[in-house]
Amino acid sequence: MATLSVPAILVLSVVVLGSFIAASAGDFYQEFDITWGDNRAEILDGGKLLTLSLDKTSGSGFKSKKEYLFGRVDMQIKLVSGNSAGTVTAFYLSSEGPNHDEIDFEFLGNLSGDPYIVHTNVYSQGKDNIAIRVFNNEESIGVPYPKNQAMKLYSSLWNADQWATRGGLVKTDWSKAPFKAYYRNFKANACTWSNGNSDCSSKTSYSSSAGGNNNNVWQTQGLDANGRRRLRWVQKYYMVYNYCADLKRFPQGRPRECRRSRFL
């Protein structure tokens, strides 16, 4: 897990490198199902905007209709504004089953004027185009890598004031409810999974006309020297926790992946 502070309006990208086949964009009616929260989640503006709402009774959430194996997913999110202490806006990819894969972003609310905190988690088997986290494929040394299980995209807005803001010291101010998060400009350049089969093909290329990702060099491109410098800048000035540096958590030695990568 890594933890960083971030602004309240962001462009979030999730990239899992591998084969690539199809592109989709835009219509929340076609791409997502509202999964919980009664009428607290809404699709508006002809499918171009989705909102989640949280009040003292319940939060809300949605998930993608499709499952993705490899690709790039982009979403613009406006997080809860003002005093959002105690709230969590989660955005993640997850497979199903007990030994699931998951790529997880959790945006922890704040007191008005303070920055958001973002937790990033990667489970394998158990922004502005500036990378904030890299998880390398280290299967050669026995570290599981999330490349075999298709994942749906999920998001939810919920109350976690027992731990979210300053470790639970700052509670949710329900006089500010309902809290709202906004989503738009969803784009997925990805191969999809259906009925146990994938439409991925390493021999197939696709130039997206969906906008934003006409150039698919991200499929094979690693961080160049400038990208590594920007990542180190993010980690130096915004990271407040890195599990690879938590020696108390791992008194018997750091996890294997921490010994080879400077960018976790």
pLDDT tens, position by position, 232-244: 888 888 788 888 8
Tell me if 8 is assigned to some domain. no
Does residue 5 carry a pLDDT above 70?
A: no
Is position 31 annotated as part of the catalytic site?
no
- Which CATH number is 103's domain given? 2.60.120.200
Q: Of the spans 76-80, 205-209, 225-229, 237-241, which averages the highest pLDDT?
A: 76-80
Convert the pLDDT of each residue in 33-42 to its tens digit.
999 999 999 9
pLDDT value of residue 82:
93
CB-CB neighbours of 106 under 10 Å: 19
The confidence score (pLDDT) of residue 192 equals: 85
Amino acid 38: pLDDT: 92
3-state helix, strand, coil in the chain (%, to 5): 15, 40, 45
Mean pLDDT across the stretch 192-207? 60
Mean pLDDT of 211-216: 44
Quick one: CA dihedral 36, 38, 44, 50, positive or negative? negative
Predicted structure pTM score = 0.74
Torsion of CA 213, 96, 101, 189, to 10 degrees: -10
Is 50 inside a domain boundary? Answer: yes
Q: Which of 31, 102, 138, 139 is catalytic?
A: 102
Task: Give 178's Cβ-side CA count (13 Å radius).
Answer: 17
Contact 32, 103 (CB under 8 A): no
What residue has token string 């491109």? 221
**125 within some domain:** yes
The DSSP result for 169-231, as a single string, is TS---GGGPSEEEEEEEEEEEEEEEETTEE---TT------SSS----GGGT----HHHHHHH
Q: Which of 10-24, 49-63, 85-99, 182-196 has the lowest mean pLDDT?
A: 10-24
209 lies in some domain: no
Residue 110 has pLDDT above 80, yes or no: yes
* Least confidently predicted of 61-65, 101-105, 253-257: 253-257
Does residue 1 have a pLDDT over 70?
Answer: no
In a domain, 141, yes or no: yes
Per the domain annotation, does 89 fall within a domain? yes
- Report the pLDDT averaged over residues 22-29: 67
Counted domains in the chain = 1
Which residue range forms the structural domain that includes residue 143?
28-195
Q: CA-CA distances (angstroms) from residue 228 to 223, 235, 251, 263?
A: 6, 11, 29, 8
Q: What are phi and psi of 154, to 5 degrees?
A: -125, 155
Of 47-56, 58-67, 179-188, 242-251, where does mean pLDDT reach its minimum? 242-251
pLDDT for residue 129 is more than 80: no
The answer as to whether 238 is a domain residue is no
> Residue 211: its pLDDT value, please?
38
Q: How far apart are CA 157 and CA 80, in angstroms?
A: 9
200: pLDDT strictly greater than 80: no
Name the strand (E) or helix (H) holding 30.
Answer: helix 28-31
Would you call 106 a catalytic residue per the annotation? Answer: yes
At 146-190, the pLDDT tens digits run 888 888 999 999 999 999 888 889 999 999 999 999 999 999 888
Catalytic residue among 106, 138, 139, 257: 106
What's the CA gap between 75 and 25, in Å, rounded? 10
